[in-house]
Structure 1
């Protein structure tokens, strides 16, 4: 996620903090300073840091549950409204997602129970709901926040954990795409409710509403891509006609191709058609600014581009693209020669074509193959 900073790595998972989180700390400091002076301000900051420590543990609950099914968590990002654990891939079975989704809130239940036990069970509901009052007991408020995190995250709507629980339960009977769409629709409806309440009571709810709506929409789109990708091959949707660059080309020559075509990504291939790397438009601009048009295009080249065979499922290409956060996936033939590219644009176009097709029509696979393709 952009505008985030690495603050460490735990168990192979990078922990990031979004820049807006620091703005939250400043806002909390001033709000508490107005209530009780400098001491209250710093206690308020410490309380927020303690809350987000609980959020981190919540996200690592998801990560540990996902690891049980062989799913890595590349990074966790802290935002002003909570945490976001990015899984390398989606769970394959509904029950797997159910376990992963419920693991986070379960961590908060354990934290709240431990705090209440440490306080001798003396924390009352009236005290725990005074979260914004710096005069209330620190640990009591922290227990209250953890209980709130459980209740909030179990709301049955995306992107909350409850939405994933709902999808997992629906996916036992319905298709994955249909189950996701139902949970996403509930999430978007909830976003409108948050936005309305934000106009009346707390502007922070408007920010939460925007995040919930966008996250729910993105989840629905990802499920749609997954559903379509399962039914087609990589060769069905790859770009077949594209310009390539030789390793000896200069950045100036790459710029000429950029202006002469509609491409934003250019493969670099050797004399036998084997892929050596990829140069994107942004890479060109960066090297052009730093070294000028005579610099070798290879200095802007990205290596290690994910690749799939053209007869593999598109699902594998989408998974590799998401895991590597790559701008494209190379499509190869049986001799490892580059025969096509899959980009975010081609996947988006495929989704639009599917949506525009009359009901009952299916996406037809390309069966005609040239002599070069028969491999």
Structure 2
């Protein structure tokens, strides 16, 4: 799934499902060991008994650990669902993230003060802190932009380049127009998109003999002007690109960059 459901009850049920399965597996394995031990003499001294016991214990510990209210783990998502019943989704996420960061701090402190010090607790603490921070930012951006249309924030002044331009000319073109990426158009047909990252991969001495068509990305990620800006933000992140070509009826009508969305976020947050 791309995201958790917005209904608090649904999110709580989905978040609890993972730990529940862990508890279920652990309970079944413990029960299996118990039943076989009752039926088979000496079973508790075998390697198989030990392996099943360890697997059962790991699942129980895993289920319990995931229920710690440290966002973005399952327990933290259950906590956010609780908060979301009493406040808006962004505030609920922020509060759950703060609790998660607090637990991350405690885990890091425990890892440092342990004798000997425990690097795994520090690693888990970093994961929780970064996950909570990232989820908080992502939720704030998504919810803020979901009522904004792509056509309202895109750049309508589309500047394109030819696939026959060499990279030396392209670099100069970038300096003049102050953009880091351009759609590549030939005979009014979109051929691809080229960015400064593409240029940077080519050695400077080879740029004069290398054409835009040699380095451009041909699989262009596009979006409709009728889509909302939060959907555009997801498309940018999922495809790991910095800009989207806005298409309508087979024609380019604009460019939407990550910078455009960040500027919009800044304006809406003031």
Gaps of 5+ in 1: 1-70, 72-87, 124-135, 358-375
C-alpha separation in 2, matches of 1:196 and 1:121? 42
Identify the residue that residue 43 of structure 2 maps to in structure 1. none
| Deviation for aligned residue 1:306 | 2.8
Q: Is it true that 1:237 corresponds to 2:132 in the alignment?
A: no
Given candidates 336, 342, 354, the residue that maps to 2:268 is 354
SS at match of 2:201: helix
How far apart in 1 are the matches of 2:4 and 2:229?
15
1:4-43 to 2 correspondences below 5 Å:
none
Counterpart for residue 151 of structure 1? 64
> Could you tell me whether the CA contact under 8 Å between 1:266 and 1:280 is conserved in 2?
yes
C-alpha contact (below 8 Å) 2:146/2:229 kept by paired residues: yes
TM-superposed deviation, 1:204: 2.5
What do the CA deviations read for 1:189-231 (whole angstroms, capped 9, x no partner)? 1111112112201232222222211110100001111111112
- Counterpart of 1:327 (choices 238, 242, 251) is 242
Q: Deviations over 1:82-123 (max 9, x none)?
A: xxxxxx344354444334322221221222122212211699
Check conservation: 2:194, 2:217, Cα contact below 8 A.
Answer: yes
Give the secondary structure class of the aligned counterpart of 1:215: helix
Query: Gapped runs of 5+ residues in structure 2?
Result: 38-48
Question: What secondary structure is seen at the aligned counterpart in 1 of 2:179?
Answer: coil
User: 2:19 aligns to what?
Assistant: 105
Q: What is the TM-score normalised by the length of structure 2?
A: 0.82
- Tell me the alpha carbon deviations over residues 11-69 of structure 1, each in whole angstroms, 9 at most, x when there is no partner: xxxxxxxxxxxxxxxxxxxxxxxxxxxxxxxxxxxxxxxxxxxxxxxxxxxxxxxxxxx
1:339 equivalenced with 2:247 (yes/no): no
In terms of fraction of residues, the more helix-rich structure is 2
Give, in whole Å, the separation in 2 of the partners of 1:210 and 1:154: 18
**Aligned counterpart, 1:168:** 81
Instruction: Output the aligned Cα RMSD.
Output: 2.7
What is the aligned partner in structure 1 of residue 28 from structure 2? 114
State the distance in 1 between where 2:86 and 2:22 align: 30
Q: Is the CA contact (8 Å cut-off) linking 1:247 and 1:270 kept in structure 2? A: yes
Give the one of 178, 183, 200 matched to 1:285: 200
- 1:290–1:155 Cα change, 3 Å: farther
SS in 2 for 1:120: helix
Q: How many residues align?
A: 256
Picking from 184, 193, 196, the partner of 2:106 is 193
Tell me if the contact between 1:265 and 1:281 (Cα under 8 Å) persists in the aligned partners: yes
- SS in structure 1 of the partner of residue 209 of structure 2: coil
- Deviation (angstroms), 1:296: 2.1
- Contact 2:166 / 2:207 at 8 angstroms: preserved in 1? no
Relative to structure 1, is the Cα distance of residues 139 and 170 closer, same or farther in structure 2, using a 3 angstrom cutoff? same
When Rg is computed on C-alpha atoms for both structures, the one with the higher figure is 2
Q: 1:267 aligns with which of 177, 183, 192?
A: 183
